[in-house]
Amino acid sequence: MKLLLMDTCGMEGSVALAEGGAVVSSESLPGRSASERLVPVVREMMKAAGWRLRELAGIVVVHGPGSFTGVRVGVSAAKGLSEAGGVGVIAVSRLAVLAAAAGEAAGQVCAVMDAGRGEFYCGVYVGRRCVREALLSGEAVAAAVADASAVVVCEARVAEALSALKPRLVAEPVAGDALQFAVERIAAKQFDDVATLDANYLRRTDAEIFAKPAVSGK
């Protein structure tokens, strides 16, 4: 089973190829280069491996939350490659991938990421099952993780901001970290609908936040 995995949600993007349940190659996309480099890197990696799009069992994309531009780039590329190769797509939450870094923790695991403006992306999971994901203030995060057996973060500033919760600081997720989610979803034949697949933003865009309210009666 051959898989292409992509994650362009964070400060750096990444691409991985996996076969037989293991990552066989990976590449990083430094800085904000994902929009220019993602598809060319995918082509280079596929060519080097001697793989064709139509041979893939699935295309896996980490679809947010994270950088608005990065998330859009990843989702758009996944859709385009899916249509070009006639391959199914599996979208995985970045929070779910982060939570998985807690390993076989008993009970609820809470994954938290910086969302800017003093807010946090927060996901609560039991195993690989999502209980809820939301955009929360610092105070709301404290309440949301009250029953969690582990709090996992990948940013030092978030670990510092939530120090009272004693979070576990781990490495930032990369594309290959979504592999186990993909393997389980493929086995269950749970592919996403490419036509309706959207980014997992968990927040409004700046245009919506700063939009002037409509004046009634005009």
Together in a domain, 64 and 153:
no
Residue 214 lies in a domain: no
- The pLDDT tens digits of the residues spanning 106-147 come to 789 999 999 998 899 999 999 889 999 999 998 899 888 888
Together in a domain, 56 and 146:
no
Instruction: Find the farthest-apart pair of alpha carbons in the chain and give their distance in angstroms, rounded.
Output: 63
Q: How many domains does the chain have?
A: 2
Together in a domain, 76 and 181:
yes
Q: What is the CATH number of the domain that holds 165?
A: 3.30.420.200
On the 0-12 / 13-18 / 19+ scale of CB atoms within 10 A, 212 is exposed
Together in a domain, 135 and 160:
yes
Together in a domain, 107 and 144:
yes
**Which range marks the domain in which residue 106 is found?**
95-169
Together in a domain, 165 and 87:
no
Residue 39 lies in a domain: yes
State residue 45's pLDDT score.
Answer: 98
Together in a domain, 139 and 162:
yes
Together in a domain, 143 and 46:
no
Residue 194 lies in a domain: yes
- The pLDDT tens digits of the residues spanning 29-67 come to 987 777 789 999 999 999 999 999 999 999 999 999 998
- The pLDDT tens digits of the residues spanning 152-208 come to 999 999 999 999 999 999 999 999 999 999 999 999 999 999 999 999 998 654 444
